[in-house]
Amino acid sequence: MFDTSKRSNASDGWTRGYDLIMASDATLTVCTDPAALAETAANLIIDVATEAVRERGRFMLCLAGGETPRKTYALLARPEFSERVRWDRTWVFFGDERVVPPDHAESNYRMAHETLLSRVPIPPSQILRMRGEDTDADSAAAAYAASLTEVFGTRRGELPRFDLVLLGLGVDGHTASLFPGSPVLREVFRTVAAVHVTAAQIPQRLTLTFPVLNAAARVFFLVAGAEKAKIVKAVLSDQALLPAGMIRPTEGELIWLADRAAAALHPIGGAR
């Protein structure tokens, strides 16, 4: 399953962990703890942002929801990190949203706003949030798909290509709001869909679909905590057919950033 395990050259000095190159060309970076994970993630995000602005004039970032990214967003908002990002050349999108108002405690937008977006000089017009407050989730999904097309300037049949997509991992193997058994897993045309997830605390959700997520130049999974160890092993080692395992950028890089607790059951990741 794994070719080698090594410390990545490029990140010497600030990656507080080690890398494993997996047969699926994904990299698993195991960090000591959640703080090290957040620091490694923040530095990697800044590297991608710098390259994107240098090469394409702007940085197209898709944020993850849930709890795990909070530490990373809060760190990115600190001056010693945020001063290294061209926020004036950054556009922020969301991978999924719960169908709740933007000030609701369960809103992914609210989490990102409080920890990052309200603390950095990003033009408000460059923050594209999903309208969780809209009762008609299907039209909210269509509206978000239209904003992707407009901001990316994509033509018919062309997919928007994020410079970086951040994703989390649920204990059932879901990512964004792509849950096991959901019909949206087979979506091939729409870039954004409304989904109903009976098992979720907030069942009604909006989510980006696999075609747009797998069109990204880079995808980073942020995964922390012992409660994720079983699912990390299932997805990365046992190759269980779960939504998170179906994230395979077609022409892009896939990096799993996990803390030691989450990588503990991984045959190699946990053995160090």
Q: Which residue number has the CB closest to ligand 6PG? A: 168
Phi and psi dihedrals of 112, rounded to 5?
-70, -35
For ligand 6PG, the closer CB: 39 or 96: 96
Query: Which residues on adjacent β-strands are paired with residue 256?
Result: 28, 221
CB closer to ligand 6PG out of 98 and 129: 98
Helices and strands of the chain, counted as H and E runs: 7, 11
Total number of residues binding ligand 6PG (CB under 6 A)?
16
Residue 191 touches ligand 6PG, criterion: CB under 6 A: no
Q: What is the rounded distance in angstroms from the CA atom of residue 63 to the CA atom of residue 107?
A: 13
Q: How far is the CB of 231 from ligand 6PG (least distance, A)?
A: 10
On the CB side of 81, how many CA atoms lie within 13 Å of its CA?
A: 23
Question: Is residue 176 close enough to count as binding ligand 6PG by CB under 6 A?
Answer: yes
Question: Nearest Cα to 162, choosing from 88, 108, 220, 83?
Answer: 220
Binding flag, residue 175, ligand 6PG (CB under 6 A): yes
132 is an interface residue for ligand 6PG by CB under 6 A: no
CB 148 within 8 A of CB 118: no
> Is residue 182 involved in binding ligand 6PG (CB under 6 A)?
no
Determine the interface stretch with ligand 6PG among 47-55, 91-99, 140-148, 180-188 (rule: CB under 6 A). 91-99
The angle subtended at Cα 155 by Cα 149 and Cα 156, nearest 5°, is 95
Phi, psi of 179 (to 5 degrees): -100, 150
Q: How far is the CB of 54 from ligand 6PG (least distance, A)?
A: 29
Provide the mask over 28-67, with x wherever binding to ligand 6PG is found by CB under 6 A and - wherever it is not: ------------------------------------xxxx
Dist CA 1 CA 10 (whole Å): 23
| Per-residue binder mask for ligand 6PG (CB under 6 A), 151-170, x = binder | -----------------xxx
According to the binding rule CB under 6 A, does residue 108 interact with ligand 6PG? yes
Sheet architecture: strand order including 204-208: 96-98, 204-208, 192-196
- To the nearest whole angstrom, how small is the minimum distance from the Cβ of residue 168 to ligand 6PG? 2
Instruction: Report the C-alpha gap between 217 and 210 in whole angstroms.
Output: 14
Q: Is there binding between residue 126 and ligand 6PG (CB under 6 A)?
A: no
Q: What residues line the site for ligand 6PG (CB under 6 A)?
A: 64-68, 95-96, 98, 108, 168-170, 174-177
